[in-house]
Amino acid sequence: MHTRHHTLSYLKLIMTALFWGGAFVAGRIMVSYIGPFSASFLRFIAASIFLLAFMLKSSKSFPPITRKQVIPVIILGLTGVFAYNVLFFAGLKTVTAGRASLIIATIPACLALCSSCFFRERLNLIKILGIVLSLSGAAVVIGRGNPLDLWRGNVGIGEILIGGCVASWVVYSLVGKVVMRELSPLLSVTYSCLVGAVCLFFPAVAEGLITGLAGYPYQVWLCVIYLGLFASALGFIWFYEGIQNLGPSRAGIFINLVPICAIVLAFICLHEPVDRSLAAGAVLVITGVCLTNRP
C-alpha cells in the first residue's frame, strides 16, 4: 500500500512537470490572439475558481487571514501572479516556448543565491557550481549561442521580460517562505491568485477584455482551461502532495523535467526548431538545476 502510494505520487509529479512544460506552449498560443493582461486575468480567474472548489471540497470552509497577513499576501499576488504572468505572456510574444522555459528554469539558482543573501542559507561548492552552470546556460540561450552578446547589450525585449519573470518569482518565493510559516501552501496560493486576478482585471479591461470576449476563438478558451486547471490548480496541488509524501528533495527533482517537457512539446505542437544554442543551453541549465536542487 505504501509503495502504491509513492508510485501514485511519482506519476502525479511527472504529470505536473508535463503540465508546467505545456504552459509555455499554451502561453505562446494565447498571446497570438490576446494581450498579456487579458491572458493573465483569464488564467488566474480560472485558477482561482478551481482552487476555491478544491479548497471547499477538502476543508468545507474558506479560512480568513489575519490583519498582519494581508500585506504579505498582497505582495504574493502582485509578484507571483500579476507581475510574473504579465511578463510571461508579454515575453512569449517574441521568445519561443523552449527558450523561455530554459530562462525560467534558472529560478532555483537565483533563489538559492538570494536565499543565501537574505536568509543566510549556506551554499556548498556543488550548489555554487550549479548556480554558475544554470546562469551560463541562460546566457547561451539568451545570446543564441554567443553569451558575450549580453555584455554588449544585444538582448531582445522578450528575453528581458522573461528575465523579469525570474526576478518576480524569486521575490514571490522569498516572501512565501515567511507567509507559509503561518498559512498552508494551498491557502497562500489561493489568496495570491485571488489578489492577482483582482489586480489584473482593470488593466485587462483597458486592454479590451470585455469587448473582445465574444470574439475569442476556441483555442483561447482551451488554453484558459488548461492553464487554469492543469498548469495552475492541479499542478500546484499535486506538487505539494509530492512534497508531503516523498519529501522536498525527491519532489524537487521533477522540476528538472519542466524545460525538457517544454522543449519537446514546443517542437511537437508549435514546430519550434531545436538548434545548437538551445541544446547547449538546455544541458547547462538542467545540469545546473540538478546540482542546485541536490540535497
pLDDT digits (tens, 9 = 90+) for 66-77: 889 999 999 999
Give the Cα separation of 70 and 93 in Å (integer). 34
pLDDT at 63: 81
pLDDT at 213: 93
The residues, any chain, with a CB within 8 Å of residue 262's CB and separated by 6 or more, are: 20, 21, 22, 23, 24, 25, 97, 98, 100, 101
Can you tell me which residue has the cell 547547449?
280
Q: Could you tell me where the DSSP H helices lie in the chain?
A: 2-30, 36-59, 67-76, 84-91, 97-104, 107-118, 125-142, 148-151, 157-179, 185-206, 209-212, 218-225, 235-246, 248-253, 257-269, 276-292
Can you tell me which residue has the cell 491557502?
187
Helix H or strand E encompassing 268: helix 257-269
pLDDT at 181: 82
Give the Cα separation of 131 and 121 in Å (integer). 14
pLDDT at 9: 87
**Mean pLDDT calculated for residue range 2-15:** 83
Total Cβ atoms within 10 A of residue 218 = 7
Residue 55 has pLDDT above 60, yes or no: yes
Residue 178 has pLDDT above 90, yes or no: no
Give the Cα separation of 162 and 259 in Å (integer). 14
Which one, of 188, 197, 166, lies nearest residue 78 by Cα? Answer: 197
Residue 165 has pLDDT above 70, yes or no: yes
Q: What is the pTM of this model?
A: 0.93
Q: How much of the chain exceeds pLDDT 70, in percent?
A: 97
Give the Cα separation of 13 and 211 in Å (integer). 39
**Mean pLDDT calculated for residue range 236-246:** 84
Lowest mean pLDDT: which of 150-154, 200-204, 253-257, 262-266?
150-154
Q: How far is CA 105 from the centre of its chain?
A: 9
Domain boundaries, the chain: 2-292
Output the average pLDDT for the chain: 91
Which one, of 246, 275, 245, 227, lies nearest residue 21 by Cα? Answer: 227
